[in-house]
A and B are shown apart, each in its own frame.
Chain A
Amino acid sequence: EVQLVESGGGLVQPGGSLRLSCATSEFTFSNYEMTWVRQAPGKGLEWVSYISGGGDSMYYADSVKGRFTISRDNAKNSLFLQMNSLRAEDTGVYFCARAYTVTWGFDYWGQGTLVTVSS
């Protein structure tokens, strides 16, 4: 069964950093485009970042551009999100998700990891 498991969330002070990980299994990771989506408390889903299967193309939402960096390790079937200069508005649950191609939607998601930015 396809699995995506996020980790690395926690409580961090404004201006701090966190690195989220998404461990995957039971599919050929390098064949899939990967993305991060977040949900602030009581709010809807917000697309955050994307990386191509080979890791050579990345995109970011304007709200995180210049602060967040997406990466992947295809040898370890893992996806990462380095989050720097964190703000209170970055608080929320962060989900990783896969897509064979983004145009067909994100077909498997993890359960999410909670990031809380607060002093």
Chain B
Amino acid sequence: DIQMTQSPSSLSASVGDRVTITCRASQSISRYLNWYQHKPGKAPKLLIYAASDLQSGVPSRFSGGGSGTDFTLTISSLQPDDFAVYYCQHSYRTPPWTFGQGTKVDIK
């Protein structure tokens, strides 16, 4: 099974900060990497698919990059609505389509 490792596990940032979260796969997954935002009591939200494609309706301050084993999610200017937990997930070939352990973004 492919393991997904995110870093950091948590971070504190201020409104307007640039934030970058990394995700590493245990083997190459090409660009089969998705990013989700999850707030307590809410449905998770797809932000980025295929490593860098912005899901419809997602603000352009979110961007994704990488290929192979190393990927990033960047928020160019953190907004109050962005405080949440972020997960990467691979969608390469066959399941299990594992998630990373999550990165909690909270207010500094």
A interface list, Cβ under 8 A from B: 4, 37, 44-47, 50, 59, 61-62, 95, 97, 102-112
Check: B55 CB closer than 8 A to any chain A CB.
yes
**In the complex, chain B residues whose CB is within 8 Å of the CB of A104:** 34, 49-50, 53, 91
Q: How many A-B residue pairs have CB under 8 A?
A: 69
Measured CB to CB, the nearest residue on chain A to B100 is A44
Check: B108 CB closer than 8 A to any chain A CB.
no
* Choice from A61, A102, A105, A112 contacting B43 with Cβ under 8 Å: A112
8 A-B pairs with CB atoms under 8 Å apart are: A44-B87, A46-B99, A59-B95, A103-B50, A105-B34, A106-B36, A106-B44, A110-B43
Q: Is the CB of A105 within 8 A of B55?
A: yes
Known: A47-B99, A111-B42. 20 other contacts (CB 8 A): A37-B44, A44-B87, A45-B38, A45-B89, A45-B102, A47-B98, A50-B97, A62-B96, A95-B44, A105-B36, A105-B46, A105-B48, A105-B49, A105-B50, A105-B91, A106-B44, A107-B49, A109-B43, A109-B44, A109-B45
Q: Which of B27-46 contact A (CB under 8 A)?
A: 32, 34, 36, 38, 41-46
**In the complex, chain A residues whose CB is within 8 Å of the CB of B67:** none
B interface list, Cβ under 8 A from A: 32, 34, 36, 38, 41-46, 48-50, 53, 55, 85, 87, 89, 91, 94-102
* Choice from B41, B42, B94, B99 contacting A44 with Cβ under 8 Å: B99
Chain A nearest Cβ from B7, distance in angstroms: 14
CA distance A106 to B85 in the complex (A): 17
CA distance A13 to B14 in the complex (A): 45
Using A44-B99, A45-B102, A47-B89 as known contacts, say yes or no to A59 and B55 having CB atoms under 8 A apart.
Answer: no
